[in-house]
Structure 1
Amino acid sequence: MASKKYLLLAGAVGLLTASTGFAQVQPTGYDALDSSKVSGKRLVQQNNFMNHQSNFPAKPRDMWELGLSGGLHLISGTIPPHPGFGGGISLRKALGHTFSIRAEYIGSIDKGQDYQLRDVPAGAQYAAWDATAAVSQSKGLGYKVVPNYRSQNHQLSLDMIASLSNILFYRAEPKINWYVLAGYSIVAADVDVDALDGNGNGYDYSGINFNAKRSDIRKQLNNLRDKKYESNAPSQGNRISIGRHDNNQLIRHALDVGTGIAFKVTKRFNIGVEEKLTMPFDAYLDGWAGPGGSSKDFYSYTSLRLNFNLGNSSKRVQPLWWINPLEYAYSELSNPRHMKLPTPVLPDADGDGVTDQFDREPNTPAGAPVDSHGVAKDTDGDGVPDYKDKQLITPTYCQPVDADGVGKCPDPECCKNIGPVATCSTLVLPSVSFKGSATKVGRDQEAILASVASTLKANPSCNVLVTGHAGAKGKKGGVDLSSRRVDAVIDYLADKQGIDRGRFIKQNTPGESGTVDLAPAN
């Protein structure tokens, strides 16, 4: 089972290599192998990654984002608001691919106008409405007013933003960034009301038809008022002496929540739309508390945002919320440039060095010499493989052979009627072939010389003539090459097989340069 797994792995690697040869796809957002965009304090981690000592690259330097915003600003409270305007400037920095932090200033002007008479609650904070309430009471309307307000606001925020759309599985670089935010604001609000006419008197509402349509009521009120907003609005809590009127500015802590979406135009510029709610937990942002002061007002800012990426593109990447962190991992799978691929291990059941899928003889005994197809070698072609052959080189005229590969050589015709001859003269010794300019005894030659050694050990009185061939017409370097091959054969028989060096006679002659011939010397 394990061998099949390795085989499948090798096949997958082969297909991967073949496919990447046609298209070398590089990451478009950020290349984790690019150390030029890594800060000095993170180079140690980057070097460990490049040297395969860490699985994680260092976080790159990324650009800051400068944002300009403008849009609809409203106060959601007790008094119906009029559409107001807000504008802001922000600076945002990524903490990672998902989270970023943004500092922002927002300035706004908000107005509101009620359309019905309301009882003036008890409390010193509502003293601004006393003159108008007294006029209403004198007209038989009760101690009532129609509230209005104008609020000039300055807001400083520090928000945490979470990007929800940049981790993509089916595309490389995000074109849209959807995010949510939450954070803290401090708000300075100058809230004023128009409670007196141009002569300093309270407004007379007796001429207003409060049974008319709401839009008509507001038109009548707008015609009545001078819109000077001369009085501080009712409030609770701390004020400071900032603004057009003394002791007028509200300072409030607030919680921010919101969401937005941005559309990439270029790698330097994007356009976004955002909705941000700021909740100071104060009932007097519109100058009028709800019943019992229980309702809490909040700011709503719906803005169009123009965002610009700041920084040197040769040293910094885009803000990380515009980069898909999976892109490098996918590109590395498609086009490996950094990962170390294991060397494929292919199954070889008989251990002969030829994998099973190419082995024509998959059950060769251990240690048996085989050819490139995994078939046991038969050097002399007598039908007995070398690992069984006790006579490794059997001349053709001595075949057929027995089960041990030993042949029976017939007596020469000239000697059939002659008495016994010297043993040495009947020895048949093979030649040793060398390929190219080789001078070392290889595995094939070792098998042949092992047979020669066996013959010499059986005939200790026989000497051997070792003849090398210097090549035709004294080819340059041939004599030296031939001599070295002769020495290699003698060294092997003497050092490896224990044959006495005194039994060898060396000579070099012209002829085929690739062989060393062995013959009885007696």
Structure 2
Amino acid sequence: MASKKYFLLAGAVSLLAASSGFAQVQPTGYDALDSSKVSSKKMVQQNNFMNHTSNFPAKPRDMWELGFHGGLHLISGTIPAQPGFGGGISLRKSLGHTFSLRAEYTGSFDYGQDYKLRPVPYTVDPVNPWAATAARNGGQIIGNYKSANHQLSLDVLMSLSNIMFYKAEPKANWYLLAGYSIVMADVDVDALDGNGNPYVYDPARLTGKRSDIKDYIKSVQDKKYEQNAPAQGNRIAIGRKDDNQLIRHALDLGTGVAFKVSKRFNIGIEEKITMPFDAYLDGYAGPGGSSKDFYSYTSVRLNFNLGNPNKRVQPLWWINPLEYAYSELSNPRHMKLPTPVLPDADGDGVTDQFDREPNTPAGAPVDSHGVAKDTDGDGVPDYKDKQLITPTYCQPVDADGVGKCPDPECCKNRVETNCASLVLPSVSFKGSSTKVASDNEAILASVAATLKSNPSCNVLVTGHAGAKGKKGGVDLSSRRVDAVIDYLADKQGIDRGRFIKQNTPGESNTVDLAPAN
């Protein structure tokens, strides 16, 4: 039915309009329909999602990140810090799209140098390395230190820029970090000269330009860092000097940003603060050890993603988890779309949007526009028409579609023909031929014209089997009669029902035609 065809066409056009413009858009970060990235432990959840028994796909396997870092390392304390250097290695793994866990080692050397005299630092150590220097300088010292540090960290990183509403996967990833570190610090001071004598400073040389003061202090100190710095007394025997290693628990806080170069490599910049809650990282504590020092590490990081890309996606902090949801809305591949139901008030199979006659009676045949059919064009629809095909010359029609046909012009003054008066010729055959010769075709054409002018007249076709019906003559005669009838019927269009055949004795080469009425 044509109406059903247009109904299906309308539904197909609706779906095409909704999806054709986005048919080529695919997720660039992670395709939730790709089960090859899902571990065997999570395949149950993935199968439930694929079978529409769960709304959530399984978390995919993602790559690990191996990082190498280096940069400026400083100790913020009482003694002014000088630039130090740190470096190390890290290994990071995602917990989800936002949070990840990173284990890291950092080794560093830190330096500090004061440029003015200060009171002897508070210490609980039984041996104060600054005592002899203070005794020679009126109870004051010029502090300095060198610290060699080892730091093991376990930090939680929170990505801030991978959940974006108007972009796909991020090119830059900002993050915050917090975690725990254990720090081993070997802090030493330079309080004695090469002969083991305490430094003696000229107060007059410690005033004036800062550059001049620096030059003077450099000329006095030899930078040997020969003694353990003051501490809280809880060292262990590890490090460059015996009984000179501090081990401290610490809190990490920081922030950073990484820039994606490729799906395998990114470059980052990070600022990390490590707070051991200890006043002796620079070898100089305030009264009662109340002031607390901390490490500041500004690093450049080179990060590499590890893993088979055929089995793992990028680290999840580089994937926007909204991208798949948006792509599914734009180009559904997994959603179950309901069959479109378009309104059709009169139930004729043509939706109301295209129906030009929206109130057609139930069951009435309609055309592709929903208009009731009128096959004969008489103005009466088929479902009311009692004469479905009314010739145009019989119109106009009545309310039931029935017309009144006038008598044909040909029949008004028709004179009945007297068939018996018709004179029809004979057809001759040569030898044993049964084929109508070309010179007989004109004769039969005139016979056909006469028969067409007298449609009520039939024809007697008589064949002759020869004198006394000699042997074989009947068959030949019958074939010649059939040849004449075939020619008139097939070539001239005369109805075969108007012919009557017979065979009689007589001239065997002749077939006679005569009126049969």
The verdict on a shared fold, with TM-score over 0.5 as the criterion, is yes
Distance 1:51 1:38 in 2: 16
1:409 is displaced (CA, Å) by 9.4
2:53 corresponds to: 53
The RMSD of aligned alpha carbons is 2.8
1:262 corresponds to: 258
Matched, 1:134 2:130: no
1:363 is displaced (CA, Å) by 0.9
Matched, 1:179 2:175: yes
1:39 corresponds to: 39
Equivalent pair of 2:356/2:370 in contact (CA under 8 Å): yes
Aligned counterparts, 1:497-516, within 5 A: none
The 1:35/1:215 distance shift into structure 2, 3 A limit, reads same
Distance 1:100 1:331 in 2: 26
Q: Tell me the number of residue pairs that the alignment of Structure 1 and Structure 2 aligns.
A: 398
Matched, 1:18 2:20: yes
Distance 2:170 2:377 in 1: 70
The 1:351/1:240 distance shift into structure 2, 3 A limit, reads same
Partner letter of residue 18 of structure 1? S
Partner letter of residue 337 of structure 1? R
1:87 is displaced (CA, Å) by 0.6
2:192 corresponds to: 196
Matched, 1:227 2:223: yes
1:113 corresponds to: 113
User: 1:470-489: per-residue Cα shift (whole Å, max 9, x none)?
Assistant: xxxxxxxxxxxxxxxxxxxx
Equivalent pair of 1:277/1:301 in contact (CA under 8 Å): yes
Partner letter of residue 316 of structure 1? R
Where 2:53 maps in the other structure, the secondary structure is coil
1:323 is displaced (CA, Å) by 1.7
Distance 2:277 2:296 in 1: 14
1:152 is displaced (CA, Å) by 0.9
2:344 corresponds to: 348
The 1:342/1:225 distance shift into structure 2, 3 A limit, reads same
1:16 is displaced (CA, Å) by 2.9
Distance 1:372 1:266 in 2: 57
Matched, 1:305 2:306: no
1:395 is displaced (CA, Å) by 6.0
Distance 1:174 1:220 in 2: 53
Partner letter of residue 19 of structure 2? T
1:487 corresponds to: none
Equivalent pair of 2:122/2:284 in contact (CA under 8 Å): no
1:284 is displaced (CA, Å) by 1.1
Distance 2:304 2:198 in 1: 51
Distance 2:350 2:377 in 1: 22
Equivalent pair of 2:382/2:388 in contact (CA under 8 Å): no
Partner letter of residue 146 of structure 1? I
Q: TM-score with structure 2 length normalisation?
A: 0.71
1:291 is displaced (CA, Å) by 4.0
1:407 is displaced (CA, Å) by 7.2
1:167 is displaced (CA, Å) by 2.3
The 1:14/1:84 distance shift into structure 2, 3 A limit, reads same
Q: TM-score with structure 1 length normalisation?
A: 0.70
1:192 is displaced (CA, Å) by 1.2
Runs of 5+ unmatched residues, structure 1: 1-7, 137-141, 413-522
1:334 corresponds to: 330
Distance 2:261 2:298 in 1: 21
Distance 1:364 1:355 in 2: 12
Matched, 1:277 2:277: no
Aligned counterparts, 1:94-493, within 5 A: 94-121=94-121, 123-125=123-125, 127-136=128-137, 142-206=138-202, 209-236=205-232, 238-378=234-374, 383-389=379-385, 391=386, 393=388, 402-404=398-400
User: 1:143-198: per-residue Cα shift (whole Å, max 9, x none)?
Assistant: 11111111111101011111112223333232212211111111111111112222
1:320 is displaced (CA, Å) by 1.3
Q: Whose Rg is larger?
A: 2
User: 1:4-52: per-residue Cα shift (whole Å, max 9, x none)?
Assistant: xxxx99876432333235xx12222222221111111111222222222
Distance 1:35 1:363 in 2: 52
2:446 corresponds to: none
Where 1:239 maps in the other structure, the secondary structure is coil
The 1:244/1:201 distance shift into structure 2, 3 A limit, reads same
1:274 is displaced (CA, Å) by 0.9
1:386 is displaced (CA, Å) by 4.3
Partner letter of residue 72 of structure 1? L
Equivalent pair of 2:124/2:231 in contact (CA under 8 Å): no
Equivalent pair of 1:394/1:406 in contact (CA under 8 Å): no
Distance 1:35 1:132 in 2: 72
